[in-house]
Protein backbone atom coordinates (compact mmCIF):
# COMPACT_ATOMS: atom_id res chain seq x y z
CA UNK A 1 0.00 0.00 0.00
CA UNK A 2 1.37 3.42 -0.99
CA UNK A 3 2.37 5.78 1.79
CA UNK A 4 0.08 8.81 1.98
CA UNK A 5 1.83 12.08 1.08
CA UNK A 6 2.54 14.28 4.08
CA UNK A 7 1.68 17.97 3.77
CA UNK A 8 3.17 20.59 6.08
CA UNK A 9 0.67 23.43 6.68
CA UNK A 10 2.43 26.65 7.69
CA UNK A 11 0.04 29.43 8.70
CA UNK A 12 -0.61 31.45 11.85
CA UNK A 13 -4.40 31.26 11.39
CA UNK A 14 -5.99 28.26 13.18
CA UNK A 15 -9.04 28.51 10.91
CA UNK A 16 -6.83 27.86 7.87
CA UNK A 17 -5.37 24.79 9.57
CA UNK A 18 -8.80 23.50 10.49
CA UNK A 19 -10.30 23.85 7.01
CA UNK A 20 -7.27 22.49 5.14
CA UNK A 21 -6.85 19.61 7.59
CA UNK A 22 -10.42 18.49 7.00
CA UNK A 23 -10.02 18.37 3.23
CA UNK A 24 -6.57 16.78 3.38
CA UNK A 25 -7.90 14.06 5.67
CA UNK A 26 -10.81 13.41 3.31
CA UNK A 27 -8.36 12.98 0.42
CA UNK A 28 -6.17 10.56 2.39
CA UNK A 29 -3.25 12.93 2.94
CA UNK A 30 -1.41 13.11 6.23
CA UNK A 31 -0.40 16.52 7.52
CA UNK A 32 1.70 18.38 10.06
CA UNK A 33 1.05 21.88 11.38
CA UNK A 34 3.28 24.89 12.07
CA UNK A 35 2.01 28.26 13.28
CA UNK A 36 4.97 30.61 12.82
CA UNK A 37 7.92 30.94 10.48
CA UNK A 38 10.57 29.59 12.82
CA UNK A 39 8.51 26.49 13.63
CA UNK A 40 7.77 26.04 9.92
CA UNK A 41 11.45 25.94 9.03
CA UNK A 42 12.29 23.58 11.89
CA UNK A 43 9.48 21.18 10.99
CA UNK A 44 10.33 21.25 7.28
CA UNK A 45 13.92 20.28 8.05
CA UNK A 46 12.97 17.66 10.65
CA UNK A 47 9.99 15.93 9.01
CA UNK A 48 10.92 16.21 5.29
CA UNK A 49 7.30 16.63 4.09
CA UNK A 50 6.22 15.81 0.55
CA UNK A 51 4.85 19.33 0.04
CA UNK A 52 4.71 22.56 2.03
CA UNK A 53 1.80 25.02 2.13
CA UNK A 54 3.55 28.21 3.23
CA UNK A 55 1.85 31.45 4.24
CA UNK A 56 3.78 34.62 3.37
CA UNK A 57 2.85 36.62 6.48
CA UNK A 58 3.76 34.79 9.69
CA UNK A 59 5.25 35.81 13.05
CA UNK A 60 8.86 35.06 14.00
CA UNK A 61 9.95 34.67 10.35
CA UNK A 62 8.21 35.52 7.08
CA UNK A 63 7.18 32.81 4.66
CA UNK A 64 9.52 34.30 2.05
CA UNK A 65 12.48 33.94 4.42
CA UNK A 66 11.40 30.39 5.26
CA UNK A 67 11.24 29.57 1.54
CA UNK A 68 14.70 31.04 1.01
CA UNK A 69 16.18 28.94 3.81
CA UNK A 70 14.43 25.73 2.72
CA UNK A 71 15.71 26.13 -0.84
CA UNK A 72 19.31 26.14 0.38
CA UNK A 73 19.09 22.42 1.18
CA UNK A 74 15.74 20.99 0.03
CA UNK A 75 13.83 20.60 -3.24
CA UNK A 76 10.49 19.96 -1.51
CA UNK A 77 7.56 21.44 -3.49
CA UNK A 78 6.29 24.69 -1.96
CA UNK A 79 2.96 26.41 -2.56
CA UNK A 80 2.89 29.96 -1.21
CA UNK A 81 -0.30 31.35 0.35
CA UNK A 82 -0.49 35.09 -0.38
CA UNK A 83 -2.92 37.88 0.46
CA UNK A 84 -5.13 39.20 -2.32
CA UNK A 85 -3.37 41.86 -4.39
CA UNK A 86 0.13 41.19 -3.03
CA UNK A 87 1.65 40.80 -6.51
CA UNK A 88 5.17 41.44 -5.23
CA UNK A 89 4.88 38.47 -2.84
CA UNK A 90 3.97 36.21 -5.76
CA UNK A 91 6.93 37.40 -7.83
CA UNK A 92 9.44 37.18 -4.98
CA UNK A 93 8.10 33.81 -3.88
CA UNK A 94 8.55 32.33 -7.34
CA UNK A 95 12.02 33.86 -7.61
CA UNK A 96 12.97 32.23 -4.31
CA UNK A 97 11.96 28.82 -5.61
CA UNK A 98 8.27 28.38 -4.77
CA UNK A 99 6.44 26.04 -7.15
CA UNK A 100 3.03 27.72 -7.13
CA UNK A 101 1.00 30.28 -5.22
CA UNK A 102 -2.62 30.59 -4.09
CA UNK A 103 -4.30 33.89 -3.26
CA UNK A 104 -6.32 34.25 -0.06
CA UNK A 105 -9.21 33.90 0.53
CA UNK A 106 -9.21 30.52 -1.16
CA UNK A 107 -11.40 27.47 -1.44
CA UNK A 108 -9.95 24.41 0.32
CA UNK A 109 -10.96 22.41 -2.76
CA UNK A 110 -8.75 24.66 -4.89
CA UNK A 111 -5.83 24.10 -2.52
CA UNK A 112 -6.24 20.32 -2.68
CA UNK A 113 -6.40 20.46 -6.48
CA UNK A 114 -3.19 22.51 -6.58
CA UNK A 115 -1.50 20.17 -4.12
CA UNK A 116 -2.34 17.17 -6.29
CA UNK A 117 -1.19 18.96 -9.46
CA UNK A 118 2.16 20.01 -7.97
CA UNK A 119 2.81 16.55 -6.50
CA UNK A 120 1.95 14.99 -9.85
CA UNK A 121 4.34 17.34 -11.66
CA UNK A 122 7.07 16.71 -9.13
CA UNK A 123 6.55 12.94 -9.30
CA UNK A 124 6.57 12.99 -13.10
CA UNK A 125 10.04 14.54 -13.24
CA UNK A 126 12.15 12.11 -15.26
CA UNK A 127 14.67 10.27 -13.11
CA UNK A 128 16.72 7.63 -15.02
CA UNK A 129 18.35 9.82 -17.67
CA UNK A 130 18.08 13.28 -16.16
CA UNK A 131 21.77 14.13 -16.50
CA UNK A 132 23.10 16.45 -19.20
CA UNK A 133 26.83 16.68 -19.85
CA UNK A 134 28.74 19.21 -21.93
CA UNK A 135 32.40 20.15 -21.90
CA UNK A 136 32.84 21.85 -18.54
CA UNK A 137 29.20 21.56 -17.51
CA UNK A 138 27.08 18.83 -15.89
CA UNK A 139 23.42 19.26 -14.94
CA UNK A 140 21.96 16.48 -12.79
CA UNK A 141 18.21 16.67 -12.29
CA UNK A 142 18.22 13.51 -10.17
CA UNK A 143 19.87 15.27 -7.24
CA UNK A 144 19.48 18.88 -8.42
CA UNK A 145 23.21 19.46 -8.74
CA UNK A 146 25.32 21.44 -11.20
CA UNK A 147 29.03 21.28 -11.90
CA UNK A 148 30.75 23.99 -13.92
CA UNK A 149 34.41 23.79 -14.92
CA UNK A 150 34.79 20.82 -12.56
CA UNK A 151 33.41 22.63 -9.51
CA UNK A 152 30.08 22.09 -7.76
CA UNK A 153 27.83 25.12 -8.09
CA UNK A 154 25.13 25.81 -5.46
CA UNK A 155 21.90 26.36 -7.40
CA UNK A 156 18.28 26.51 -6.29
CA UNK A 157 15.95 23.81 -7.66
CA UNK A 158 14.30 26.30 -10.01
CA UNK A 159 17.68 27.43 -11.35
CA UNK A 160 18.59 23.80 -12.04
CA UNK A 161 15.26 23.18 -13.79
CA UNK A 162 15.58 26.27 -15.99
CA UNK A 163 19.15 25.39 -16.92
CA UNK A 164 18.15 21.79 -17.64
CA UNK A 165 15.23 22.94 -19.80
CA UNK A 166 17.41 25.22 -21.93
CA UNK A 167 20.40 22.87 -22.12
CA UNK A 168 18.27 19.89 -23.11
CA UNK A 169 17.30 21.79 -26.29
CA UNK A 170 20.50 23.50 -27.54
CA UNK A 171 19.77 26.25 -30.02
CA UNK A 172 16.04 26.36 -29.29
CA UNK A 173 14.63 29.70 -28.19
CA UNK A 174 12.31 29.63 -25.16
CA UNK A 175 10.03 32.57 -24.43
CA UNK A 176 9.70 33.76 -20.86
CA UNK A 177 6.12 32.49 -20.67
CA UNK A 178 7.27 29.08 -21.95
CA UNK A 179 9.93 28.88 -19.25
CA UNK A 180 7.49 29.88 -16.52
CA UNK A 181 4.91 27.33 -17.64
CA UNK A 182 7.46 24.53 -18.14
CA UNK A 183 9.30 25.06 -14.85
CA UNK A 184 6.55 26.30 -12.54
CA UNK A 185 3.74 24.49 -14.28
CA UNK A 186 1.43 27.49 -14.20
CA UNK A 187 0.03 29.93 -16.74
CA UNK A 188 1.72 32.88 -15.09
CA UNK A 189 0.58 36.34 -16.23
CA UNK A 190 2.81 38.36 -13.93
CA UNK A 191 6.10 40.15 -14.44
CA UNK A 192 8.69 38.39 -16.61
CA UNK A 193 11.39 39.59 -14.21
CA UNK A 194 10.99 36.26 -12.46
CA UNK A 195 12.68 34.50 -15.40
CA UNK A 196 15.17 37.32 -16.02
CA UNK A 197 16.31 37.23 -12.40
CA UNK A 198 16.83 33.46 -12.48
CA UNK A 199 18.78 33.62 -15.76
CA UNK A 200 21.02 36.37 -14.37
CA UNK A 201 21.81 34.27 -11.30
CA UNK A 202 22.43 31.13 -13.36
CA UNK A 203 24.90 32.98 -15.60
CA UNK A 204 26.73 34.41 -12.59
CA UNK A 205 27.08 30.96 -11.07
CA UNK A 206 28.09 28.80 -14.05
CA UNK A 207 29.90 31.06 -16.52
CA UNK A 208 33.69 30.98 -16.74
CA UNK A 209 36.22 32.35 -19.24
CA UNK A 210 36.15 30.64 -22.64
CA UNK A 211 33.29 28.30 -21.70
CA UNK A 212 32.21 26.45 -24.89
CA UNK A 213 28.54 27.15 -24.20
CA UNK A 214 26.41 30.08 -23.11
CA UNK A 215 22.89 31.20 -22.31
CA UNK A 216 22.04 33.82 -24.91
CA UNK A 217 19.37 36.49 -24.72
CA UNK A 218 17.08 36.77 -27.73
CA UNK A 219 15.80 40.29 -27.21
CA UNK A 220 12.05 40.65 -27.15
CA UNK A 221 11.58 36.87 -27.05
CA UNK A 222 13.52 34.97 -24.39
CA UNK A 223 16.61 32.79 -24.04
CA UNK A 224 18.48 29.88 -25.59
CA UNK A 225 21.38 27.61 -24.64
CA UNK A 226 24.08 27.64 -27.31
CA UNK A 227 27.06 25.30 -27.68
CA UNK A 228 30.00 26.64 -29.69
CA–CA separation, 171 and 121 (whole Å): 26
Q: Which fold has domain 6-123?
A: Rossmann fold (3.40.50)
Domain positions in the chain are: 6-123, 131-227
Q: Note whether 6-123 and 131-227 share their fold.
A: no
State whether CATH 1.10.10.10 applies to domain 131-227. Answer: yes
In 3-state terms, what secondary structure has residue 134? strand
Render pLDDT for 86-121 as a digit per residue (tens, 0 to 9): 666 666 667 777 888 888 888 999 999 989 988 887
Whole-model pTM above 0.75?
no
pLDDT tens per residue, range 15-70: 999 999 999 999 989 999 999 999 999 999 888 899 999 999 999 999 999 998 98
Amino acid sequence: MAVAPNILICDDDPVVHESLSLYLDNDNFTHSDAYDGKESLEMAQATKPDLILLDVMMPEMSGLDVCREIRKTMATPIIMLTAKGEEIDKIVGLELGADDYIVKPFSPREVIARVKAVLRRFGDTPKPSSVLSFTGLEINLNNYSVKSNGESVPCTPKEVEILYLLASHPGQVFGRDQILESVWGIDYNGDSRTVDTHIKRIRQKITYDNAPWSIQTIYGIGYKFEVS
